[in-house]
Amino acid sequence: MKNYFDKFPDSYVESSRRMIQTPSAFARSALFYVQETGYLKLKESHLARRKNLESYLVVLVLSGSGTLMYKGNSYPLQKGSCFFIDCMVPYYHQSSSSDPWELIWVHFNGSSSEKYYQYFSSKSAPAFHPQTFPELQDSLEHLLEVNTASDLSAEIFSSRLIVDILS
C-alpha cells in the first residue's frame, strides 16, 4: 500500500492533513480499504464538488456548520452531524462562511461496500446525528493514524476500523 501526503490550500489551518492510499491487490479483493482519510479545519468557506468516484464517503462534522447536497436534497450539517454517501452520485458539500467547519473523513471501498451502503441507505437519510459520535470520531482518528504506514498490517487494521465505523 502506497501513501502520499498532500498539502491543503491556505484556507485550511496548518494542522489539516490527508492521507491518500493505494491499496494492495489483496486489500482490493478481500478487505474494506482506505482510499483517502483526513482531517481539516477551515478558516473560510469551502466547496467540494464530486461525482463518478468509485468510493464511499463517511464524514463527521467536529465543529462549524455547512450543507450537503445529495440526490437533489439539501442537508444542513453542524457539529455532531455525519454523512455517509456513494460518491458515484453527484454531490457537493460546502462549509458556512460565518462558521467554517472542522471535519474528519474516510473515502473507502471494498468487496462488500456496495451492499453495506445499500442496506444503510434503505434505512437512513445520508446525513444524520449518530448517537455514537464520540466512538465514530475515535475510530476515524485511529484510521487516520494507522494510515501513516503502508503495509499489510495497516490494511488489515484499517479494514477492521471501517467495519467498526459502518457498524
Contact 166, 38 (CB under 8 A): no
Report the amino acid identity of residue 161: L
Mean pLDDT of the chain: 90
Contact partners, residue 94, CB within 8 Å, separation at least 6: 45, 46, 47, 48, 66, 67, 69
Residue pLDDT, tens place only, 28-79: 999 999 999 999 998 888 888 999 999 999 999 999 999 999 999 999 999 9
Residue 45's pLDDT is 86
Residue 101's pLDDT is 93
Residue 15's pLDDT is 65
Contact 147, 4 (CB under 8 A): no
What pLDDT band is residue 17 in, cutting at 50, 70 and 90? Answer: confident
Cell numbers that stand for 26 in this block: 489483496
What pLDDT band is residue 162 in, cutting at 50, 70 and 90? Answer: very high
For the chain, percent of residues with pLDDT exceeding 90 = 80
* Alpha-carbon span 112 to 7, nearest angstrom: 31
Residue appearing with cell numbers 449518530: 130
Residue 78's pLDDT is 97
Report the amino acid identity of residue 155: E
Direct distance between the N- and C-terminal alpha carbons of the chain, in angstroms, rounded to an integer: 25
Residue 13's pLDDT is 53
* Alpha-carbon span 21 to 86, nearest angstrom: 19
Residue 116's pLDDT is 95
Mean pLDDT of the 25-29 span: 95
Does residue 5 have a pLDDT over 50? no
Does residue 4 have a pLDDT over 50? no
